[in-house]
Structure 1
C-alpha cells in the first residue's frame, strides 16, 4: 500500500511517485552506487560535478521522505550516539583553524548521513542487502573489466582512473576505487553481502555463487595485506556467529562471555606480537610511513587534546597541520590511516569518545541481533561492521562516503531492533513501574 502524502506541496501524482516503493528502490540503488563510486565520479566529473549529484540525491531523498512521512515511525528516529557525534563534529567549527574545510567536511558527512537515514527508513534490511549486492556486482564487474582492458588488451595504464595495468602480473589491482586497499575492502563487503544473499535465498544459487567468485577474485587480485587480515577476522566472526546461532538460547550468554574473553586475549596477544605480524604481512616499509604519521599525530594531539584541531573528514592538505604531516611522511595523505586516531586528532577526546560509543553500540546491538534472531539477514550488519571496524585500524574509510554511510545504516537498523526509546514508546507503563 502506498502511503498518502498529507498537505503535500507537490502535486498528488508526483507525491505518489515519490512515496512509491519502486522510487525508494531506485533511489537506494543510486545512492549506494554513488557512495561506492566516489573515486570514479571525481575522476570523471570533478568535485563540482560530484557535489551537484549529491545535492540532487539529498533533494530527492528529502522529497521522498516528506511524501512517505505518514508511514514512517519517527519516534527514536536516530540513535543518540549518531546525533552526539555529528553534533560535536559540527561544533568544532567554533575553534577550527580551517573553517571553510571544516564546513565542507561537516556538510559532506551530513550528506551521507542523511542518505543513510533515508535508506534505513525506506528499506528493510533484506532490501538493503539486495540493493548493495546489485550495486557491488556491477562495480566489481566494471573494475575487473577495466583491469582486463588495461592489463591484457592494451597493456597500458588508464591514468585518469589510476589503473596501472597490473592484471597480467596478477595484481595488485585497484579497479575504479582509487587504491588496492579500498578495492579489497569493497570486495570483502561484497563477499559478505553475496554470502547473505545466497544463504537467505534472496538470489538464485547460480548468480549468487558467481558473485562470490567475482568478489573472491577481486580480493585476491587486490593483493592487500591489510584486507587479508581483515578477511581473517571476518571469517572468525562468521564462525562465531554460526556457533552462537546453533547454540540453545539458554546457553548463549555464557558462550558470548567466553567469546568476549577470547577476543580480548587475542587482541592483547596481537598487540604484543605486532612486530612479528607486520613482518608476516610483508608490510614493513608501509608500516614505517604509517608509524611516522601516527607518531606525529600523537605529538600534535597534545596541543588540542580535548577539542581536537577541527573536523575535516578528508584532510585539506593546503592548511596547517595537514601540510606539515604530508611533509613529515613525504606523501600527500588524505586521512590518518587509522579511523580512531583520525577522530581523536580532528575532534579531540570528546569526539573520540562519542565515536567509540557510536561504533560500540552499533556493533553490540548488531551482534546480539545476529546471534538471537532466526532470520539470517541479521548477520549482514554484524559482519559488515566487523569488516569496517577491523579495517579502521589501517584506514579511515569508515569516516567518509560508503564506510560512513554503511556505519549509519547498520547503526540505525540495530537501533530499530534494540532501541530503549522504541521500547519505551511501545511499553511506557512497564518502564514507569
Structure 2
C-alpha cells in the first residue's frame, strides 16, 4: 500500500477490479454450473463443493473490491432475499436440521455466484460468456455420446450415458438425463440466437452453434423440449409485436397479449389429456401425477410452512434421506431425485408461503425484464425474459431451477431484471419528483 492508502499498480485489489478477471470469473462460474454433474460424478461431490466454495470466496472478494460501484438499492431483489430467508427459517420446523442447512447452503452458494456475475458483467457480456461455455459443454456432450455410442459402443453408467446416439437417441450428454440436456439445449438456442442477432459473433460461428444446439435438442428426445420450444417461440413473437408497437399503444398491446396468454393457458389445461397424448408422454405424465398426488397428501398437515428445505432429494435408502421425502419414495416404490416439478418441490418443502415467495421471484423478474425488453432498442435485452420463460415453463416438468445451474441462471436473470427496474429505486426517484408513475415506463 502507498502512504495515501491507495493500492499500488499490480496489486491484488487492481486484479479483482479488472475486467479481464471479471470475465475469467464469469466463465469459470458458469462452466462449473453447467459441468456440475460431470465434476460430481468424476471427481466427487466434495470436489464440487470445494470449487463452488472457493469461487464464492473469490466472488465476495470481487464485490468488496468493487464496493464503490455497487448500489444497495439494486444489489439483490427483495423477493430473492425473502425466499432465501424463508428457506433458512425452515430449519426450525424441519425433521432433519443438518439436511436443511446443507440444502440452504447450496442455494446460497450457487446464488452468490449468480449475484457476482450479474454485478460484474452487463447483459451482453453475460450472454457472450454463457455462449462460450455452452458451445464447449454441448460440444463435449456430443463427443461423449459419439465415443460411447459409436466408437466404443458401450454405455457410460457413471454419467448416465446410454450410448444410443447411433439409434437416434435419446442422448444425455454430460448432463445426466435427456430432459436436462434438452433444457440446456433450449437455453443455448436462446443465447446463440441473441448472439447472432446482436452480431456479437461471426455468422459461421452462429450457424455452427445453432446447429449444434438444435441437433442435441432433437437427439435428446425429451418431451419437454417441444413444450419449451413452443413457449419460447410464442414469447418471442409476442415480444416482437410489443417492440414494434407505437409507444402510445404499447400498454394496450401488453394487456392484450396478457389476456391472450391467460386464455391459452386455460385452453391448455382443459385440453391437457389430448396434449399429453400428442406428445406421447402418457406414461411419463402418469408417473408425475402419482408423485404430485402423494405430495399433496403430505402438504395438508403442514400447508403454510412445509416440512423443511432440503433441495435435491437424496438417493432412496441412503442414511441421510430426509423425512418425509424418504416415505414418499418408499410409498411409490420409486427413487425420485426431485418432485419432477419445481413448484411442487417448493410446496412440500417450504409450504404455500415459500411457493408464493418463489412465484413472486419468477413473476416479478419476468414482468420487469419483459417491460425493459419491450422498450429498449437493443435485441440483447430480449435474452433475460426469454430465458426466464424457459426456466419457469421447465419448472412445471422438472426441478432444475432449484439447484446448481438452473438456480444460478434464475438468480442471474432476477438480479439483471431488478437492476433495470427496481421498485425501491422508483420510489426514491418519485420522491425526488423525477419519475413517471406509469408502470409501463422506465423509471428516471
Q: 2:343 maps to which residue?
A: 340
Distance (whole Å) between structure 2 residues aligned to residue 370 and residue 430 of structure 1: 25
Q: Do residues 376 (structure 1) and 379 (structure 2) align?
A: yes
Q: Give the superposition deviation at 1:331.
A: 2.1
Distance (whole Å) between structure 2 residues aligned to residue 344 and residue 9 of structure 1: 49
Distance (whole Å) between structure 1 residues aligned to residue 77 and residue 286 of structure 2: 38
Q: Do residues 349 (structure 1) and 352 (structure 2) align?
A: yes
Q: 1:195 maps to which residue?
A: 193
For normalisation by structure 1, the TM-score amounts to: 0.96
Q: 1:286 maps to which residue?
A: 284
Q: 2:53 aligns with which of 52, 55, 59?
A: 55
Change (3 A) 1:180 1:106: same
Distance (whole Å) between structure 1 residues aligned to residue 218 and residue 391 of structure 2: 18
Q: 2:327 maps to which residue?
A: 324
Q: 1:366 maps to which residue?
A: 369
Q: 2:208 maps to which residue?
A: 210
Q: Give the superposition deviation at 1:77.
A: 1.2
Paired residues of 1:8 and 1:67 also in contact (CA < 8 A): no
Paired residues of 1:8 and 1:15 also in contact (CA < 8 A): no
Paired residues of 2:169 and 2:220 also in contact (CA < 8 A): yes
Paired residues of 1:82 and 1:358 also in contact (CA < 8 A): yes
Q: 2:310 maps to which residue?
A: 312
Q: 1:394 maps to which residue?
A: 397
In the TM superposition, what are the counterparts of 1:177-192 in structure 2 within 5 Å? 177-192=175-190
Paired residues of 2:304 and 2:353 also in contact (CA < 8 A): yes
Q: 1:163 aligns with which of 141, 161, 175?
A: 161
Paired residues of 1:116 and 1:409 also in contact (CA < 8 A): yes
Q: 1:404 aligns with which of 404, 407, 419?
A: 407
Number of residue-to-residue matches in the alignment:
429
Q: 2:440 maps to which residue?
A: none
Q: 1:14 maps to which residue?
A: 12
Change (3 A) 1:423 1:12: farther
Q: Give the superposition deviation at 1:385.
A: 0.5
Q: Give the superposition deviation at 1:159.
A: 2.0
Distance (whole Å) between structure 1 residues aligned to residue 242 and residue 74 of structure 2: 29
Paired residues of 2:94 and 2:307 also in contact (CA < 8 A): yes
Distance (whole Å) between structure 2 residues aligned to residue 45 and residue 75 of structure 1: 40
Distance (whole Å) between structure 2 residues aligned to residue 134 and residue 386 of structure 1: 22
Q: 1:86 aligns with which of 81, 84, 87?
A: 84
Q: 2:25 maps to which residue?
A: 27
Q: Give the superposition deviation at 1:109.
A: 0.2
Q: What are the superposed Cα offsets for residues 75-118 of structure 1, whole Å, 9 maximum, x if unpaired?
A: 33111111111100000011100111100000000011111110
Q: What are the superposed Cα offsets for residues 118-162 of structure 1, whole Å, 9 maximum, x if unpaired?
A: 001000000000000000000000000110111111111122211
Paired residues of 2:7 and 2:14 also in contact (CA < 8 A): no
Q: 1:241 maps to which residue?
A: 239
Q: Give the superposition deviation at 1:10.
A: 11
Distance (whole Å) between structure 2 residues aligned to residue 79 and residue 264 of structure 1: 26
Paired residues of 2:310 and 2:322 also in contact (CA < 8 A): no
Q: 1:113 aligns with which of 107, 111, 114?
A: 111
SS of residue in 1 equivalent to 2:63: helix
Q: Give the superposition deviation at 1:56.
A: 0.7
Q: Give the superposition deviation at 1:428.
A: 3.6
Distance (whole Å) between structure 2 residues aligned to residue 319 and residue 399 of structure 1: 17
Q: Give the superposition deviation at 1:423.
A: 3.1
Distance (whole Å) between structure 1 residues aligned to residue 180 and residue 33 of structure 2: 13
In the TM superposition, what are the counterparts of 1:290-305 in structure 2 within 5 Å? 290-305=288-303
SS of residue in 2 equivalent to 1:176: helix
Q: Give the superposition deviation at 1:11.
A: 10
SS of residue in 1 equivalent to 2:297: helix
